[in-house]
Amino acid sequence: MAIVTMSREFGSGGREVGHAVADVMGYEYIDRKRILEDMRKEGKIWEEKAKHFDENYPNLWERNDWAFRGFVALNQSHFVNHALRGNVVLMGRGGNFLLRQFRFVLKVRIKAPFEQRVERVMARYDINRETAEYLIEKADSEMAKAVYLIYGRNWDDPQEYDMVFDTSEEDREGIVSVVKKALLEKERYNTPEERQALEIRALAERIKATVLSDPDLIISMLDVDPREEGLAKYGLVVRGLVHKREDVRLIEGIAKRMAGAIPIEFRVQYRAYPRFGRIDIT
């Protein structure tokens, strides 16, 4: 079946809508908790990094550190692999941007007026108004910044979604009914060609995550993207910039081993770090 990605404002009721859609459709509900479980299986360091970056917007140093890039790549790989299984409600994580090219993916946005969200958060967590306002503003700000940092897109742009719902104007049952109908209509795009394209995308994300999560590889930039060859034949293109000559061969070996029979175009370049003379600051 077609799948749904759901973006929500904090306190909008989006979580409840997501659970309701999953129940009605018989789908699996994939959210932050499930992705953190996936990261835990990657090892202790990634469990710790996942908790840290999930709760804190990375500072300038962290944004350029291998661990943050590895964390993002692993997150995206797990997310796409859940999509590959089908019959899922994928909550948050910028899923609508990650899967934006797939026509059988329904991209939904759930929002509500700020004041209504404040009232909901106060009731749900039994906190005062000032604290509720702080939590909402912090959550909105950090999610918007994270989406822009990773995808270069505006998190709150309605044109990035197939449909946007305001829970102050529409009740949960009505939203679920509309989403269910839209998913059934999206199913006509769930073709073998689309599934094959998603499989290739999932493979690309796994290769990228494997390389970027390796602390021994010194990488400035790495992209692994599907590349269409003709109507239904796909391959991968690997682009990157590394600072150790031997890493070019290592990355190529990882990519080819994981890709198997899938053709790969390899464009990883070596560039040594610039050498600076000694700077005397005394």
Q: Please tell me which residue, 53 or 167, carries the higher pLDDT value.
A: 167
Q: Mean pLDDT across the stretch 176-203?
A: 95
Is 278 domain-assigned? no
Query: Which pLDDT score, from 0 to 100, does residue 271 have?
Result: 86
Q: Which of 190, 206, 236 is the last residue of a domain?
A: 190
Domain of residue 241: give its range. Answer: 216-270
Long-range interactions of 267-270: CB distance < 8 A, separation 24+? 267/237, 267/238, 267/239, 267/240, 268/222, 268/238, 268/239, 268/240, 268/241, 268/242, 269/240, 269/241, 269/242, 270/242, 270/243, 270/244, 270/245
Could you read off the pLDDT of 20-50 as tens digits, one per residue? 999 999 999 999 889 888 988 888 888 888 7
CATH code for the domain in which residue 64 is found: 3.40.50.300
- What value does the mean pLDDT take over residues 226-254? 84
Residues 250, 179 share a domain: no
As for how many domains the chain has, the answer is: 2
* In-domain check, residue 210: no
pLDDT for the residue 52: 79
Mean pLDDT calculated for residue range 233-244: 88
| pLDDT level of residue 227 (50, 70, 90 thresholds) | confident
Residues in a beta bridge with 92: none
Q: Report pLDDT digits (tens) over 256-278.
A: 999 999 999 999 999 876 554 44
- pLDDT at residue number 60: 72
For 43, 55, 65, 69, the CA distances from 48, given in Å and listed in that order, are 9, 11, 15, 14
| 149 plus 256 within the same structural domain | no
- On average, the pLDDT of the chain sits at 90
Residue 135 lies in a domain: yes
Residues 175 and 258 in one domain: no
> pTM of the entire structure?
0.87
Closest CA to 138 of 57, 36, 33: 57
Kindly tell me if the per-residue pLDDT of 59 is higher than 90: no
Residue 234 has pLDDT above 80, yes or no: no
State whether 160 and 253 are in the same domain.
Answer: no
Here the CATH number for the domain that contains residue 258 is 3.30.1340
Q: Across residues 166-187, what is the average pLDDT?
A: 96
One domain for residues 8 and 147: yes
Q: Is the pLDDT of residue 137 over 80?
A: yes
Nearest to 224 by CA among 196, 187, 188, 264: 264
